[in-house]
Structure 1
């Protein structure tokens, strides 16, 4: 009897999603994977009986619903969902237009919600499953000038997943937020990272950080996508997976730094915090 889990991975034609899909197939799992075009998936992954490439626009709920229905019909069910689809939007809060900001939220947050809403009736009915939502270390530590909107989308992913975890525990459904650091993928390249259409020169810190990413970080990211894929599988196979998982030594270090800052501010302002009680 085949007891291997069936996976649904969004945003699977590149980056961490692509590495995960390839590893899953090598390990004998059945995988339904989404991208904006089936051709891009077939080109990167190939064709096999255990692989179902799906053309999906995560911001289109009907597109998502159709894909989930096809995956369930093809493999008999879904056990693990990895919400990986998304992109980075750079630009300070003043620079970005309403359209640029909302488009980032539409994909990174509401696209993820579309997937969750449409897969949950299936997971709820079978009283099992695991939803892994990809945030970012920028969804825990937001002090990156020029990354405010992207940070906000990833903080939103973390917040809604925390709430979902509390909602779904009694249903037998698990949830994990993954906060990746820098991995050697194409995330920092064109297509996964968009710059502000109307930059303002006075925002020097934001411009300087863009230069750092372009000249110092690309190609030197410490994270190995192949090892990340193995970590995803370990999370999904765990009896008690964590709600929060910081992926990469850089992510872990930045998380500890943020926790230290919070602890110091809690202690320094304890008397003022308590002064507001009746």
Structure 2
């Protein structure tokens, strides 16, 4: 279909929302460059490649690996139109029990890997004067009050913040930015391969262990969100003339956001007199 269908570059494409997205894009005739750390997983799910599909083995923590993949996508398709930063993984553990190495590893993938992709795709988008970057955060990038999710929330709050700044930086180049905050969708995100836990767990953190057990056993496989509908929404916003900067996905994400905004407003109202009395006297 040539330039009738735009070129997508999607990270974390061998599982989760990324896999659903790539399958739906290809079914609708889009051109897709899809990345994963594992070549076998990628090819088992999506095939070895064709004119409209380019599978790429990428370690998004390695900027040179990302750079080479972006160059390969541009060489294959001639351009990139839509970038989806989907690669990431969950981490459950209290801030005390998660080691520095475990915490930094989550940031390396969820935040710095995303920055590697943005840094290496923006020159093409900026030069062509168009494009759309979709960064996948989480409902936990807006509502963080869940035991055991501190580091993961910190990575996803960071994604929201950098996306908002990126939008302000690149809008004059004709590039749109959307940060998606999905709730619980029925993918393998809560499975062992996508959800990290601390090596050294502290028994005293009963609420953290209960949260961990609930996510791994009760919530996993019973998430209310349909991933097919989630990725259809992502494709739909990519066709908008003015796509949203912030996109909450799922009723649970909307409910959590409403609850958090109400809580913030209540706290602002309660402390307004105290907080406003901090300026120099006129």
Please, what TM-score do these two structures have when normalized by structure 1? 0.98
The aligned residue for residue 128 of structure 2 is: 126
Aligned residues: 278
Q: Structure 1 residue 30 and structure 2 residue 31: aligned?
A: yes
Q: For the residues of structure 2 that align with 1:199 and 1:233, how far apart are their CA atoms?
A: 40
In 2, the alpha carbon distance for the partners of 1:214 and 1:9 equals: 27
Shift in Å, 1:52? 0.2
Give the match for residue 40 of structure 2: 39
**Counterpart in 2 of 1:226?**
228
1:68 equivalent in structure 2: 70
The partner residue of 1:115 within 114, 117, 122 is 117
RMSD: 0.9
The answer to whether the 8 A contact 1:145-1:205 is kept is: yes
Where 1:99 maps in the other structure, the secondary structure is helix
Q: Distance in 2 between matches of 1:97 and 1:2?
A: 48
For 2:131 and 2:170, the matched residues in 1 are separated by: 10
Runs of at least 5 residues in structure 2 that lack an aligned partner in the other structure: none
Q: For residues 96-118 of structure 1, what are the alpha-carbon distances to aligned partners after superposition, in whole Å with 9 as ceiling and x for unaligned?
A: 11000001101100000000000
Match of 2:169 in 1: 167
Structure 1 CA distance for aligned equivalents of residues 213 and 192 of structure 2: 14
| Matches of 1:255 and 1:91, distance apart in 2 | 23
Q: TM-score, normalised by structure 2?
A: 0.97
CA distance in 1, matches of 2:39, 2:238: 26
Hey, what's the Cα distance between the residues in 2 that align with 1:3 and 1:264? 49
Q: Distance in 2 between matches of 1:174 and 1:85?
A: 20
Aligned to 2:8: 7
Q: Aligned to 1:79, which of 73, 77, 81?
A: 81
Q: Secondary structure at the match of 2:29?
A: coil
User: What residue number does 1:158 align with?
Assistant: 160
Look up the match of 1:247.
Answer: 249
Match among 215, 218, 228 for residue 216 of structure 1: 218
Residues 37 and 54 of structure 1 are in contact (CA less than 8 Å); yes or no, is this contact kept in structure 2?
no
**Alpha-carbon shift at residue 37 of structure 1 (Å):** 2.1
Which aligned pairs between 1:168-183 and structure 2 lie closer than 5 A?
168-183=170-185
